[in-house]
Amino acid sequence: MIEGSYSTMNKTSSECSINSRYNNIHEASTFSSEHENGDQLLTISQIVIRSDFANETSENQAKIILERFNEGIKNSAFTDSPVLGRAQTRLDVSYFAMAHRNQIVELFDPRGQRFGTVYSADPTVEIKYIGSILKTCRYFGAYGKHVLNVPSGHFAKAMTKNRPIIYGEGPHVIIDPTFEFDERSGFVNQQSPFINHSTINILRVPSGKIAKVWIGTQPLILESRREPYVFIDAQFKLVENNNPGELGYDRYFENSSSTFMEHGSIKRIIPHTGEVAITYNNGILTIIPTPKDGKPVIIDSPTHNFEGFIQTSLQTCLFPSKETKQQAIKDNKSATNDEINLKIFQTRDSLRVGVVLVVAFRIVDPQLALTKLGKEGIINHIENVSFADMGKAIQLSTLQEIMYFNDTKPSANSNETVQTIQDRVKSHLARDLLEYGIELARLQIETMKVLDTEIAKKLAGQSVTSAEYTTKQATLVKEYDIKTTEARLKAETDNIALEQKNKATIAEAQAKLQSAQKQAEALIITAEAQKKVQEMQGELYTKYPILAEIELAKIKADSLKNATLYITPQDAGNFMNSPLVYMDKLLGKHQKN
């Protein structure tokens, strides 16, 4: 095909152009290492170039790639009529064809049809077929024109103008003669904990981790957050962990639960409940308590140093301490076990005894305690004054007094008349320690041993005898308790039975009383009813006298029902006028009617 026929092909290409919203500047955007972000934090969207047609269909994406790649080309190097040009091998629909005219690269989509490259009679024009390119190829290009297909979930690291640039997922068309990309190492997973590309640094700090970085000479401790940290600085440096653990990315991070972490001039401190942090700000003691907001304490000062932690909760120590025992071995290599493990004193009756003390205390004023004693001197001071006070009390007591009081717990009330040796020592020691910000909770002789062998044997024999007597006494007391309990149970059982019998008798009497009351109430009601009936009959007879005569006649008739009447002639007249004859007459008239 001759060059003059390019206009036809160009017209066809223009008909396939995509909406003007895809027209953009194809030159890559970059940030220099001197990017001044100050306190304004950069985000991924600010440094990653997004594809503006990543969500288009594959057909539209191919059209957009062709349009942008071939932008500005007036004379095409391809023809769709292979008869008029150099015929090329038919390509599958999933391929582009690439050629150049005097190193001006051009893409062509044959769509499975035959095609060719044009002839040119001009000796100054070189047209050369470069080859076929798969449309889904991740990267291809030549002579300053490039197509980059970034896979999903990845970034592409490239260079332009000797500056780093990062592309997001999707297709990109780059027209830039200074563009450089290495397909072997240019693609990186977006979820990588640390992405470094020249001066661009993207850091994702997982939950429960922190990262330590340097920006020049400035240290930073980065806490975990959802969005990644973005730094564009040639002086950025990520400090790697010396103990990476099982997970590979752990070499970049450290556990955020660490109680203390130092990075440059930054100290990150998390005092737990029951302890405080010891720091010195320009040499001045500064106590840091447990933060109430639940956040770590951050100190950013090169002259504010962290010394350690000290417990403020209750502590219990056994004296002699481990350090004291080691010192005893150094001082006397031939020392016996008793001389090493016990603190030896002499009683008033010149007997040697060894003791082990139990001391429970809490530091109520760390500022005062550390100022007067220092961190390492607190335990030493408590041990020394405890043995000093206890030794003085033992020297003023006999062995019998010590052994008696050793079997007795320290009194709860220090004002009691009879005080044990431990009580006297405790009261004096508590006052002494309180002056140093230490509260004494308990002081007791844990172990006491008589070092004289003969006396120890005698005491052991006395202990056996005492133990036997104590056992017999305990047995008698137990038997007495058993008999007392049995008697008490029997008495309680009898009382319960008697009480139940009394309750039953009372219940029966109450039932009879209630029955008699009910009967009496019934008789009264019956009498009142009869009285009321009689009153009503009287009122009726008064109102109707004939009814009274009838009732009287009935009574007489009932009384004469089985009687025989003898009427003399003298009484005949009276009988005919009697109520009986009147009733017979009345009844006879009624039956006739």
Structure tokens at 208: 């429960």
Cα pseudo-dihedral 458, 460, 466, 467, rounded to 10 = -160
Mean pLDDT of 475-489: 86
The pLDDT value recorded for residue 460 is 55
pLDDT of 27 > 70? The answer is: no
- Report the Cα 131 to chain-centroid distance in Å: 62
pLDDT digits (tens, 9 = 90+) for 35-92: 444 456 889 999 999 999 999 999 999 999 999 999 999 989 999 887 777 888 899 9
Q: Band of the pLDDT at 19, cuts 50, 70, 90? A: very low
pLDDT of 298 > 80? The answer is: yes
Q: Band of the pLDDT at 421, cuts 50, 70, 90? A: confident
Task: Tell me which amino acid residue 398 is.
Answer: T
pLDDT of 205 > 90? The answer is: yes
Mean pLDDT of 481-503: 87
pLDDT of 546 > 50? The answer is: yes
pLDDT of 218 > 60? The answer is: yes
Task: Tell me which amino acid residue 370 is.
Answer: L
pLDDT of 210 > 80? The answer is: yes
pLDDT of 15 > 60? The answer is: no
pLDDT digits (tens, 9 = 90+) for 260-296: 999 999 999 999 999 999 999 999 999 999 999 989 9
Task: Identify which has the larger pLDDT, 85 or 224.
Answer: 224
The pLDDT value recorded for residue 2 is 30
Mean pLDDT of 315-330: 92
Q: Band of the pLDDT at 531, cuts 50, 70, 90? A: confident
Q: Band of the pLDDT at 576, cuts 50, 70, 90? A: low
What do you get for the CA distance between the two ends of the chain, in Å?
155
- Report the Cα 261 to chain-centroid distance in Å: 24
Strand order in the sheet with 275-281: 284-288, 275-281, 304-311
**Mean pLDDT of all residues in the chain?**
83
pLDDT of 548 > 90? The answer is: no
* Reduced 3-state DSSP string for 103-123: CEEEEECCCCCCCEECCCCCC
Residues 6+ away with beta carbon under 8 Å from 194:
201, 202, 203, 204, 238, 249, 252
Q: Band of the pLDDT at 568, cuts 50, 70, 90? A: low
Lowest mean pLDDT among 38-42, 109-113, 484-488: 38-42
Bridge-partner residues for 309, per DSSP?
277
DSSP-derived secondary structure for 233-256: -TTEEEPPPS---SSGGGGG-EET
180 to each of 25, 29, 183, 184, 185, how far by Cα in Å? 18, 14, 10, 12, 12
Task: Identify which has the larger pLDDT, 463 or 508.
Answer: 508
Long-range contacts of 86-95 (CB under 8 A, 24+ apart): 86/116, 86/117, 86/118, 86/119, 86/129, 87/114, 87/115, 87/116, 88/115, 88/116, 88/117, 88/129, 89/132, 90/114, 91/115, 91/132, 94/134, 94/135, 94/136, 95/132, 95/133, 95/134, 95/135
Task: Identify which has the larger pLDDT, 35 or 124.
Answer: 124
Lowest mean pLDDT among 14-28, 39-53, 90-104, 151-165: 14-28
